[in-house]
Each structure stands twice: as structure tokens, then as C-alpha cells.
Amino acid sequence: MSSKEILKVIRKIKDLPTLPRTILKITEAINNPKSSADDLAVIISNDQVQTARLLKLVNSSFYGFPQRISTVTTAIVLLGFDAIRNLLLTSSVFDLFSNNKTKKISRMETQWDHSFGCALGAKIIGDFLRHEKIEELFVAGLLHDIGKIVEMNFLPDDFRKVDSMVKDQDILFITAEESVLGYTHAEVGKLLAERWNLPPILINIIAHHHNPGLAGAFSQEAGIVHLSDILCRALNMGSGGDNKMPSLNGEAWESLQLELSAIEPIMEKMEREFEDIRLFMSR
């Protein structure tokens, strides 16, 4: 199925949520080189929900600052513009889909747990590699399977068909999607990310987390999320929709230049911090 045809599918979803206006304003401000921390603080402070959310997140054990952060401006100075945008974007997306009524609440929870684990793993791998965009990796990990969440909530009939094939034939979710639908969650996620005007790095990772080499300038970052996805499955963190272990992309592995000896400590740290990351996103 072509991108145009997939876009038609997305457009048929009348209730597909849009990002809060404040998030869009924050993105515009961050893209403006003349914006200051005070400018950004004014935008956030005018939205009580986003203010409360930011202060809750910045004071969580995920960051572990020794003193309580009580102002938006302080949070911005400590974390930086990109981190603030990514934190509020992440929690807003989680809220958008978690508030959607569905008969498959438990399925949603296991899918989000998988996404939490992938976000955490991407952050840990990024730390290990001394990557400069740790927050971007975290958000990319959380949103890598957003297309599955869209299918589950807004294309339930299609999702059930894929789910049935996965169970009947014991195959990868993406393989069943290609067979039943002619498109995949990665393609749906990419189009949603574009519709939301997310940064190119996030769009490319969402689109190519199964094939990192296709992510162009962001192939290494896509490789990080790809590896994290596999490690999450190995650790049984939530569910990616099937019981199969995807093959590790050789090109992605080479691009990361990790030693095999690094995998065990990375997985151990993921296990230790998994519950914290779930609480970090709880409301």
C-alpha cells in the first residue's frame, strides 16, 4: 500500500486526537532561536495542566534532583528546551490514547509497558554510547510503536485480523500486518508523527525502527531503538503484540559499535529501572 493510501486510512479516523495547543506553541518557541527560557516558561505557565505535569515529572525519581523544583523556569534551565518539549510531548501523547475508551484495556497496558521499556532501554543505551540526544532517544523509544496504538484504538477490525493471524501462525506482528493490511504500524506511526509536526529524528525512528539503515542521518538513533526493542522482548517487558524475537539487524549493530559484553549490564539496568519508568508516566 502506498503512502497516499495509508494516509487515506489515517484520515478516515475521525476521532484521531490532536496534540494540545500548548505543545504546539512550545515546539514553535523552541524552533525560534530568539526564544528564551522566560518565553517558554510563560507559554507553559499559562496552561495549568502542563505546568502541573512538568513539575511532577521533573521532581520524579526518574531525575532524582536533590532539591525540589518549584518553578517552570528552573525546570527549563536545568533540563533544557528539547528535554522540556519531549517530556510534555511524551506525557501528552500517553494521555491522549490512555483516555480513549477501549475494551482491551489490559492489551493497551501491556503495549504501553513495552513502549516504556523501549524508551528506558534507548535512554540507557544512549547513555552508554554518550549520545548527545538522550531525551530524543527516550521519546523515540516510547513512540516507536504508536502506530499499533492507533490501529488498536481506531482500526479495531483491522487490528483483530492481524492479532488473529499472529496467534494462529505464531509470527511477528509486522509480518501479519503486511499480509493482512498491506501496511504496517511503522508506516501508520510515521504519518501520524508527520501530522503532529514532530521533529525529523522522531519521524524517521518511528518509520524505520525495524530497518534502521533506512533512517538516513538518523540511522544510528534508529539502531538504538531497534536494539532496545529487542532487549525489551528478551526481558518480557510488556508485549509488542507477538511472542517472537525479531532478528537483530546486522547493519544497525555495526553502527552502534557496542561490545557484546555491554549487553548484560544494559539489560540489568533496564530491569532495575523499569518500575520507576512506569511510575514516571503514571497519572
Backbone dihedral angles phi then psi of residue 6, each to the nearest 5 degrees: -65, -40
Q: Are residues 10 and 22 in the same domain?
A: no
Grid cell listed for 163: 492479532
Q: Please give the average per-residue pLDDT across 165-186, as a whole number.
A: 93
Count CB-CB contacts under 10 A for residue 176: 22
Q: Are residues 89 and 63 in the same domain?
A: yes
Question: In the numeric block, which cell numbers belong to residue 172?
Answer: 511477528
Helix 37-45 / helix 81-98 crossing angle, nearest 10 deg: 20
Could you tell me the pLDDT band of residue 171, with boundaries at 50, 70 and 90? very high
- Does residue 13 share a domain with residue 120? yes
- Number of folded domains that form the chain: 2
pLDDT digits (tens, 9 = 90+) for 95-110: 777 655 544 557 778 8
Between residues 282 and 175, which one has the greater pLDDT? 175
pLDDT of residue 283: 44
The whole-number pLDDT of residue 86 equals 79
Query: Would the pLDDT of 233 be above 90?
Result: yes
The verdict on 108 and 226 lying in the same domain is yes
Domain that holds residue 30: 18-99
User: φ, ψ for residue 148 (rounded to 5)?
Assistant: -65, -40
Residue 130 banded pLDDT, cuts 50, 70, 90: very high
Write down the pLDDT at residue 103: 47
Task: Work out the end-to-end distance of the chain between its first and last CA atoms, rounded to an integer number of angstroms.
Answer: 38
pLDDT digits 0-9 by tens, 51-86: 988 898 888 777 788 899 999 999 999 888 888 887
Do residue 119 and residue 152 come from a single domain? Answer: yes
* pLDDT tens figures, 8-42: 666 666 556 677 788 888 888 887 889 899 999 99
Statement to judge: residues 229 and 91 lie in one domain: no
What's the pLDDT tens digit per position in 206-231? 999 999 999 999 999 999 999 999 99
| % the chain with pLDDT above 70 | 88
The mean pLDDT value for 157-168 works out to: 92
Q: Looking at the structure, do residues 46 and 5 belong to the same domain, yes or no?
A: no
Read off the CATH number of the domain in which 109 is found: 1.10.3210.10
